[in-house]
Chains A and B, each alone.
Chain A
Amino acid sequence: MREANAGFGTTLRLALRRDRILLPAWIVGLAATAGFSASATVELYPTEASRVAAAETINASAAVVALYGRVFDPTSLGAVSMIKLTAFGAAIVGIVMLFVAIRHTRGEEEPGRLELLSGGRLGRLAPLTSTIALVTGASLLLGLLTALANTAAGLPFAGSLAFGLGWGATGLVYGAVGAVTAQLSTSARTARGIGLVVLAITYALRAIGDLAEPGPSFLSWLSPIGWNQQLRAYAGDRWWVLALPVAATVVLVAAAYALRSRRDLGAALRTERSGPAVGTMSSVAGLAWRLQSRVLLAWAVAFVVFGLILGSLASSVDRLLTSEAMKEFFEKIGGTSGLVDVFLGAEVAIIAAIAAAYGISAADRLRSEEVEGHAEPVLATRTTRLRWALSHDVIALAGSAALMVLAGLSIGASASASLGDWSQLGRVLVASLAQVPAVWVVTSLVMLAFGWAPRLTVAAWGLLVAFVVIGEFGALWNLPTWVMDLSPLRHAPTLPVGTEGLLPVAVLTLAAVALSAAGLAGWRRRDLAP
């Protein structure tokens, strides 16, 4: 074991050097998000009565429970203020650690950089061990910083520690998931994809479990994100729950070691099969489709499954309205049909943010094809730069639109079936289509960066996170309207979509076209990397 881990210190220092900016930025940013939310809530709900009212509204809305979970103690300030960060925030932490783990294992192995190091005194398991050490350290640091930030914001220390350690433990589990998926595929891209699918499934499990009370609520206990909720920080602090993620991490890490020990450097578990000797692709569009179609198909399946689940929750919206006062309130503002609209509109908006994530990743392929040296041989043929860039841009734009159509159909059909009202199908489909231009604007930001500041292409992810955070926390943090208006996702019309929605849809479409065109113009005049 010692020989297998020779060079551990070197690979750990290398990983720290490569992550010296991004990882600390994520850790500080996440801890600050928790701290800001805590202090904003302290001001928002000064009295216990106001807190209880807020918590009951949250617990009564199926959409909110599906997304964020329940407030376990309505009287607890901490439980109310951290509701959006307990499941949703933990998922973000999970994605960060998942990507970090894959970046330093398969991400180093795939381009052959690990092979370069292997010439030295480097044990076979050292990169994996140092990655796990990095993820553990980063998760712990994130947990402690978050605990400090929340304590400083005025929440009780014990609960803040539980909350922070809950985030850290969630990061640990998904880091370990990344260590396993990195062993399964020779491609880091595929390893990230598998990891994200695991995260999405575990998030959905807890959503169903949380809604099902009473019912199959055990589903929440099958999910690391569910464990983080069941830890019940600020609402009893059930410390023993922390044993679950730690145990899961140990099992996953052991599995990663076992898998790594059974394979060669650069290989996956499956040996590479032969393929066709003769190619059928005859255009760059064909190449782009070949490179992207499988990923798009996986997203499409995920969208349909999520859409069906989200839509099926529509019928439980009014069942959750337990208090008479709230029923009265909602009937005043348009009855339970208005409530269903609010619910479905919120689901469509969330799906749109996820479709924007697809658009970013698909458009980002341009940059990775360029940097990996795949673009130059293609551009040395008769293919023009414009045609090559459009081949991926069209997939990003058409693909994200297709995903929204699928989401509209699946949410709409499922909601119609559960409500017994087939008029919902058309309404939800229209609402989904109305989000497409906003998704295109976010996707086209990648094109703009690609054309004029290619190194900043990755910043599009940061912007998407910022737009989602503005949507989720902007009101709570009392952000000025002009800041909130920076997010294109806020400008898309929501249910019920009427003719007044045509103007923002047209403006957003024009903005997307302008951004893409500007990006393409920059791309045509700049030097090719590297």
Chain B
Amino acid sequence: MSDSGPVIDIRGLVKSFGSTRALDGLDLVVEPGEVHGFLGPNGAGKTTTLRVLLGSVRADAGTVTVLGLDPWRDIPALHARLAYVPGDVALWPNLTGGEVIDLLGRLQGGHDPARRAELLEMFDLDPTKKSRSYSKGNRQKVALVAALASRAELFLLDEPTSGLDPLMEERFRGCVRDLRDEGRTILLSSHILSEAEALSDRVTIIRAGAVVESGRLSEMRHLQRLSIAAETEHELHGITDIPGLSDVVIDANHLRCTVEPGHLAELLSHLSAAGIKTLESHPPSLEQLFLSHYGVDPDGATGDA
């Protein structure tokens, strides 16, 4: 473990590709032993940030330290202590999954064979298949097994569950919790709020290459809203008087809105009085949050290369 101070410390990071400013003064602090959710819509700059942390691309401006080291210069020393799962896993088509896992493992400094076997079992992955015959989810599993079997202190995971089915996603979440219990640090990029919510101690939300908000999710009351869609037997009246509602769309006996958790009971009693026929509720997508709370179009950014 690095002595004290943050594991990742980014201040004022700027990165442009041609005329596109992918990162525009981004700050990110990840403390030791935490699972840090790195949230943003597609093209916000999450992958570019991770690639700066890996030394794949060089920062134009700002300071970046990872485990107290410079990610551009101190590559062997730094990479011996971190593991990475790319968002888009490309494998050599004529190597088997097992060969790729073992190659990456040895290049990282050695896997624990028992841990490798356990992970293969857990993710139900056949290591004898040639990579070209793997589905997207199975390619993702190869990268996950290679990373999770390592003894890294820091894990950089770029949308690691894309392509995994819900069962595998749950097993992955279990792995992340185990890593945290062992005191490792995890930076988990995602565009799905619920995923970050389920795993993260803290989150940083970015848009267009800059931070919108950072902190504990439980402290972000406005992010705790639920999206509601309901149909009732009778016409709805007086819904708009309920506090904590927004984005309300009423069409006779159909309702769409978002509600703060504290006012959910009030809304439900109002709906049941009108005779609930159908009711859907789900956490809002990040895109919805951007629209309703920051008043910005999340597609306004590019550069998530």
Q: Which residues of A pack against B, CB within 8 Å?
A: 110, 186-187, 272-284, 286-287, 290-291, 372-374, 376-385, 525, 527-528, 530
Contacts and interface: CB of A to CB of B under 8 A. Distances in A.
Does more than half of chain A's interface fall in helix, strand or loop, or is it mixed?
Answer: loop
B104 A377 contact: yes
B56 A527 contact: yes
Looking at chain B, what size class is its interface with the partner chain? Answer: 35 or more
B92 to A, nearest CB: 6
A272 B128 contact: no
Given A378-B104, A380-B79, A382-B79, A275 B96 contact: yes
B100 interface: yes
Given A373-B88, A374-B90, 8 more contacts: A187-B93, A279-B106, A374-B92, A377-B84, A380-B82, A380-B86, A381-B107, A385-B75
Nearest to A111: B90
A382 B88 contact: no
B80 interface: yes
A384 B75 contact: yes
Identify the interface centre among A277, A280, A291: most chain B CB within 10 Å of its CB: A277
A384 to B, nearest CB: 6
B145 to A, nearest CB: 12
A275 B130 contact: yes
A273 B96 CA distance: 10
A381 B75 CA distance: 8
B132 A272 contact: yes
B110 to A, nearest CB: 10
5 contacts: A273-B130, A278-B99, A381-B109, A382-B79, A382-B109
Given A186-B93, A275-B128, A525 B107 contact: no
B261 to A, nearest CB: 40
Centre residue among A278, A280, A373 by max chain B CB count within 10 A: A278
A336 to B, nearest CB: 50
Contacts of A374: 90-92
Pick the most buried of A273, A287, A380: most chain B CB atoms within 10 A of its CB.
Answer: A380
A279 B54 contact: no
A276 B103 contact: no
B75 to A, nearest CB: 6
Contacts of B76: 382-384
B300 to A, nearest CB: 22
B54 A379 contact: yes
Nearest to B91: A374
A383 to B, nearest CB: 5
B58 A527 contact: yes
Contacts of A383: 76, 79, 107
Given A186-B132, A272-B130, A384-B76, A277 B96 contact: yes
Interface in B242-287: none
Contact of A380 (B58, B84, B90): B84
Interface string B47-59: 0000100111110
Nearest to A190: B94
B107 A378 contact: yes
B68 interface: no
A372 B80 CA distance: 24
Contact of A376 (B86, B98, B106, B127): B86
Nearest to A378: B107
A373 B86 contact: yes
A267 to B, nearest CB: 9
Nearest to A379: B56
Contacts of A382: 75-76, 79-80, 107-109
Interface in B290-305: 305
B99 A276 contact: yes
Interface string B104-132: 10111100000000000000000111101
A521 B245 CA distance: 59
B143 interface: yes
A219 to B, nearest CB: 36
Nearest to B84: A380
Contacts of B146: 377
B133 interface: yes
A379 B99 CA distance: 17
B176 interface: no
A283 B107 CA distance: 6
A276 B107 contact: no
A373 B98 contact: no
A292 B107 CA distance: 19
Contacts of B212: none
Nearest to A271: B133
Contacts of B84: 377, 380
A377 B128 CA distance: 20
B106 A283 contact: yes
Nearest to B101: A279
B52 to A, nearest CB: 10
Nearest to A369: B92
Contacts of A272: 129-130, 132-133
Contacts of A385: 75
A382 B146 CA distance: 14
A380 B54 contact: yes
Interface string B6-25: 00000000000000000000
A274 B96 contact: yes
A279 B131 CA distance: 13
B70 interface: no
Given A274-B129, A381-B79, A381-B108, A373 B90 contact: yes
